[in-house]
Structure 1
């Protein structure tokens, strides 16, 4: 169970010590989870990870300079991808499947372009391609709920879930599951780590129509997924990805926001496992 998975560390030749957790049956390739802006090991929904780990080995980690990992936090998405490769090399992983969520989806795309042989299949959740319209930084109302040192329940519910009773109830359930782990919780993201990540997010979103052509280089099978009322990344970005990637399929989940994968954790896990199989 992800809520009980021990915190582990592995050290890269650079001296960076990466914090990670792994669970599920040993399998090759494992499924690597890439986290959203400000996310830590404790930001993944245990119910989602457990559902994925029923069939696949799942590995979650903190990039350098984030939470319990040491080093300096990358300030560009390319550096996030390079840092991710350093982590997989430290674990001796030659090839992985990747589930990139939000900012992690940026990293997943860059990873597939930078080292195609290191990736088998890609899941892009609530994310956007480089240079896409309307993703140059987060909306003011989203930043008002994501830019503080300490976030409360209402901040999460506003930014991650649709503003309906059904979606908000699902959000409360997700937050409750994330608090199930009482011991050995991950460290919070520092202000320096948070600022570095936002630089990476903002630079990725600079409008650049030519950058969209880079997607033609991702020949891997890709599952693109998102919520139909995402305030953080416009849902049309999912359709843009689906149209420009050579081998992609798109799933949009109703009455859900940026945290659709937590609201629909069972259905999303089924879709991901079917795709990976």
Structure 2
């Protein structure tokens, strides 16, 4: 394992377009760095340390907060397109002209737009627990999921409900994840604000407005793509992954059993192995 881990990597800052981006870098190797784009309201410490450290064993990994989220300054974006331009600006601020990107959930929305807006920037793309713009079932979340996801002070119970399948085995893996992601006790990222929560949900809703023609955008993604998801995602329908894998010209798909939205936190070792093999 790398000497610097998810638990010990220092929080750094990069300036671009008046925004001070909070980020962390760890690991080494790989042809290009792997940038991880976080889920709805997530910050640097909402990643599973087991997943991040396993990815960083083979390559350099970069975590980042979107503008206006947690330790990054600026105004939170209300559209995915704006978030994509912000993440492109962040890579420019770090002097990166070629990256791999793993986008989880809303981060996968952003990653798709990045691949379309700057096709030469992204070498390989991983779309995790996400879905295509305008697809059926993407226009917001069902009521129980929205209630837990938009809680003013989210609890471990909220995360278990929305992230893990409602089975004994998946929920038990979720409890293990809750223990891991609280391991870091020093220099933890600050919680995201209600303002960023509401802005990001606006972005989720705008992305999901039914629009069959928007699916054709996927045919413009030029880079090799790995689509991964749990078999019973309660936030973003798993069938959307099959749509993406069918429409992106150079795509492959892997669905993980007995898993929901946070399958990559339920199976961190397996997902890291699959991702590293794909990127390698």
For residue 63 of structure 1, give the secondary structure of its aligned residue in structure 2.
Answer: coil
Shift of 1:3: 1.0
In the alignment, which residue of structure 2 is the partner of 1:6? 10
In the alignment, which residue of structure 2 is the partner of 1:264? 267
For residue 246 of structure 2, give the secondary structure of its aligned residue in structure 1.
Answer: helix
In the alignment, which residue of structure 2 is the partner of 1:102? 105
Q: Verify: 1:254 aligned to 2:257, yes or no.
A: yes
Within a 5 Å distance, the mapping from 1:26-41 to structure 2 comes to 26-41=29-44
In the alignment, which residue of structure 2 is the partner of 1:123? 126
For residue 223 of structure 1, give the secondary structure of its aligned residue in structure 2.
Answer: strand
In the alignment, which residue of structure 1 is the partner of 2:237? 234
Distance 2:256 2:228 in 1: 8
Shift of 1:74: 1.1
In the alignment, which residue of structure 2 is the partner of 1:175? 178
Distance 2:14 2:118 in 1: 21
For residue 113 of structure 1, give the secondary structure of its aligned residue in structure 2.
Answer: helix
Shift of 1:28: 4.0
In the alignment, which residue of structure 2 is the partner of 1:16? 19
Unaligned stretches of 5+ in structure 1?
A: none
Shift of 1:153: 1.2
Shift of 1:268: 0.4
Distance 1:19 1:53 in 2: 19
For residue 56 of structure 1, give the secondary structure of its aligned residue in structure 2.
Answer: coil
For residue 2 of structure 1, give the secondary structure of its aligned residue in structure 2.
Answer: coil
Aligned residues: 276
Question: Under a length normalisation based on structure 2, what TM-score does the superposition of the two structures give?
Answer: 0.97
Question: Under a length normalisation based on structure 1, what TM-score does the superposition of the two structures give?
Answer: 0.98
What whole-Å deviation, never above 9, does each CA across 1:201-224 have from its counterpart, x for those lacking one? 110000000000011100110000
For residue 33 of structure 1, give the secondary structure of its aligned residue in structure 2.
Answer: strand
Distance 2:242 2:88 in 1: 28
Q: Verify: 1:193 aligned to 2:206, yes or no.
A: no
Q: Is contact 2:29-2:58 (8 Å) kept?
A: no
Within a 5 Å distance, the mapping from 1:129-140 to structure 2 comes to 129-140=132-143
Shift of 1:187: 1.0
What whole-Å deviation, never above 9, does each CA across 1:184-213 have from its counterpart, x for those lacking one? 110111111111111111100000000000
In the alignment, which residue of structure 1 is the partner of 2:90? 87
For residue 117 of structure 1, give the secondary structure of its aligned residue in structure 2.
Answer: coil
Distance 2:148 2:20 in 1: 31
Runs of 4+ in 1 over 6 A off after TM superposition: none
Q: Is contact 2:40-2:105 (8 Å) kept?
A: yes
Q: Verify: 1:55 aligned to 2:58, yes or no.
A: yes
